A and B are shown apart, each in its own frame.
Chain A
């Protein structure tokens, strides 16, 4: 019981400190969460327009751990189907522990229009378990995304999660689900070095400013470095490894107060 209370306390502290990094959206594989304009990497529940840039079908899973507490982990899965007309994905995530957990399943569609721009939409069904009422409550949360490439070097991305500010009400409480507006850019200094920048605004929270660089050092190895500011400045680092059709991304970020947040994602890319 003591452990449970401690976990609840930590979880509530985390949610206070990071109101804009909602646990229901898994972190992206892009450095510092700069995924909204990142045309090279796809992540679960991120900008659905990026689905359009996928040339091959792929499957992936990821694990995110917050502050070395297994109860504050998110596990997610994504299967992406690439077709000539439209790309689609199916995503699922699970966060929490037995007394409190949240799940989200999403069906997304994205299309790339001659590499000039891409549009995407995802329909997420979010469900949370409320121990007070011993019941699950859910809501449909759409996600809309857009990406436009002004040239082969520069692109801009936009996405919104839960634009209608849908919340969940129970007999005892109301759970506020984040409504997020994201805008970001991607700039390739060279084919090996990309600079990403992003601003997120959760409608009831502070702004989150994030930036980072991803450097393809070798054909098999990439390095990432970045930071974001959402009240605290959080430095982020990571690397990517490529082996045949497997891609492994490992990221971590160091919160000055709460400690280390780590992420690992594994993807398999099918041949055409």
Chain B
């Protein structure tokens, strides 16, 4: 009853206050969320949205001056393809500095959607910004400080909280119950002075982890960083927690992967170099220091060193796998915490010209205990030992309308990996990309994250072809075809196998306020299928066809989104098809008279079989991004609001509920089990600028 009353009040308030006349300004966070949604739309794992958001938000605060830019700088706009970046540079080279931002329309390969997305992140200025000296007075007086406090919890009680956690070593609870409260909490402090000095700290306590008690003294996770840019000969200096990305990701990429998405041309790795780590991820970062130094004659070198404790289940100086979730809620999880010391040292040396970029990357990892994976067929070639070295050579060549790129890498035991491809723009309306990849089954390195079908960059070869065509004004066609082969069994696939993946998308932008797309995807993936009368699982093709339609419309302070997606799956050649369907309606309203923005969604889903599970992006509080999985029959709705109390304080609040209608009496399993058919999630975020 209470939620109905809340909804009633919100909707009535909305209806009565709607001052229609003013176009809704597309806010930067909405633009970033839209870009990320398209970028991650077809992936089942949500990439690190916090880092993605922070980078683009930072870019919005420090826009790129198009008249004095570089490939490296333009590549920070992840939604632009390699071809588009080259076209911008070619235009500037050919016609000189831009007079105004409208000239973007004259550049080949940029449609109105691209330009609209670029606008918050670019500017046109004649004069070049000079790199000034950093004075302490300026840093103290003009630096910007931000503090974030986030809280999140489920309204329902999960099984893990039913009985209290007494103490570690108590045999009665068998390590099954959670040590702490169901409240998730994180605190972040950020400081930046222009784009020269960046510093911050992050503290986090996951739901189920204790704050003060036998298991924890304070937060479970602490993180901090300092990054200084353009200081003397140093291009970048990082201290504390940081990430490193070099080449095409065959040796070192700890950021987001440029994988398969509806941005079909964006498979070329970018965002190179060392940079701060400010996310709440508890595994995927380095802890130590590093620097990038500019050398004469267009040479550049980066070196870094990391020393951090990681989680693993150790027995007698041996561990079988690294525990990456960052959860320390139960006795079992706490026993794995910070048991291994991992040291990483590496570097890169590059030579950059306008038409050529080439470099060598090296990384060495050392553990204080021995990694010995539990041997099964699929992980026969996984790395085992205490130390591993990997090196790679990468290149990029720009010639006319052709860009060649690639990387070749080898591990210490001389097992190779290769990725090579090109992008080509034969006509201004047509852009093409082709990428060949070969990762040997024995090539297994810790920080590789290159284009691949699975999350692991090994045991795969394949060819990816993509095209983006603008056949008529307002229309865009994007498509890719990816054919791949696993020469050795993979997890969940007990034999060498092959698969394919196709995507076809048509976008139509009628005008600034109305756009829509149709997206068809076909995948044919190998998988183990258990059958009656068979002792061993049989590997068969799982065929999945999915079709999505989405319509975006804005009018005044309102914006709407209507989407429907259906899929059909066949497990094996003669099996029956199973079906899944979801549809939702979004409504966003930004008040004119109040600094308040509301998002509301109602969605239903119907995917009885797990193979038909559906994913749909939903709006969230700042720095959070949800792509929940829908499986079963039910509905979901949420209310998300942002309120700017004053110039200093902004708060976000979200309440979301999923109600299953398939007569289930419990949701999830184990310690995460909830009795009933409802799950409610409440989030609160406060930002303080000073």
Which residues of A are interface residues toward B (Cβ below 8 A)? 85-86, 109, 111, 113-114, 116-117, 119-121, 123, 140, 142, 144, 146, 148, 150, 156, 158, 160, 163-165, 179, 181, 183, 201, 203-204
Contacts and interface: CB of A to CB of B under 8 A. Distances in A.
Interface string B636-664: 01000000000000000000010101100
Given A114-B20, A163-B602, A204 B11 contact: no
Nearest to A116: B555
Given A114-B555, A201-B606, 11 more contacts: A85-B16, A86-B15, A113-B555, A140-B4, A148-B555, A148-B560, A150-B510, A160-B602, A183-B562, A203-B634, A204-B633
Contacts of B558: 113, 117, 119
B8 A142 contact: yes
18 contacts: A113-B556, A113-B558, A116-B556, A117-B553, A117-B558, A119-B11, A123-B4, A142-B7, A142-B8, A144-B11, A150-B553, A156-B551, A160-B585, A179-B635, A183-B562, A183-B585, A201-B583, A203-B604
A210 B12 CA distance: 31
Contact of A163 (B514, B587, B637): B637
Nearest to A179: B635
A54 B539 CA distance: 61
A183 B564 contact: yes
Contacts, number: 88
Contacts of B24: none
Interface footprint category on B:
35 or more
Nearest to B557: A113
B635 A163 contact: yes
A183 B583 contact: yes
B630 to A, nearest CB: 13
B18 A111 contact: yes
B163 interface: no
Contacts of B354: none
Contact of B633 (A117, A119, A203): A203
Contact of B8 (A113, A117, A123): A123
Contact of B12 (A109, A117, A158): A109
Contacts of A144: 11, 602
Contacts of A119: 11, 14-15, 18, 558, 587
B3 interface: yes
Contacts of B564: 183
B1 interface: yes
Interface of A, secondary structure class, is: strand
Contact of A140 (B1, B12, B662): B1
B661 A203 contact: yes
Contact of B659 (A148, A165, A181): A165
A117 B559 CA distance: 10
A86 B15 CA distance: 8
Closest 10 CB pairs of A and B: A203-B661, A121-B11, A158-B585, A181-B604, A116-B555, A113-B20, A165-B659, A204-B661, A160-B602, A111-B15
A9 to B, nearest CB: 25
A134 to B, nearest CB: 25
A253 to B, nearest CB: 25
Contacts of B634: 203
Given A116-B555, A117-B555, A201 B12 contact: no
A203 B635 contact: yes
B560 A146 contact: yes
Interface in B434-457: none
B633 A164 contact: no
Given A158-B562, A179-B661, A146 B585 contact: yes
Nearest to A139: B1
B296 to A, nearest CB: 60
Contacts of B661: 165, 179, 203-204
Interface string B505-537: 000001000100000000000000000000000
Contacts of A179: 635, 661
Contacts of B633: 203-204
B486 to A, nearest CB: 38
Contacts of A140: 1, 4
Nearest to A123: B8
A260 to B, nearest CB: 31
A120 B555 CA distance: 16
Contacts of A116: 555-556
Nearest to A165: B659
A114 B558 CA distance: 12
Contacts of B12: 109, 121
Contacts of A164: 3-4, 637, 657, 659
A203 B366 CA distance: 55
A45 to B, nearest CB: 17
Contacts of A163: 602, 635, 637
A142 B18 CA distance: 20
A150 B516 CA distance: 12
A78 to B, nearest CB: 19
A201 B635 CA distance: 11
Interface in B354-397: none
Nearest to B585: A158
Nearest to A183: B583
Contacts of A109: 12, 15
A156 B551 CA distance: 10
Contacts of A114: 20, 555-556
Contacts of A123: 4, 8
Contacts of B555: 113-114, 116-117, 148
B604 to A, nearest CB: 5
A165 to B, nearest CB: 5
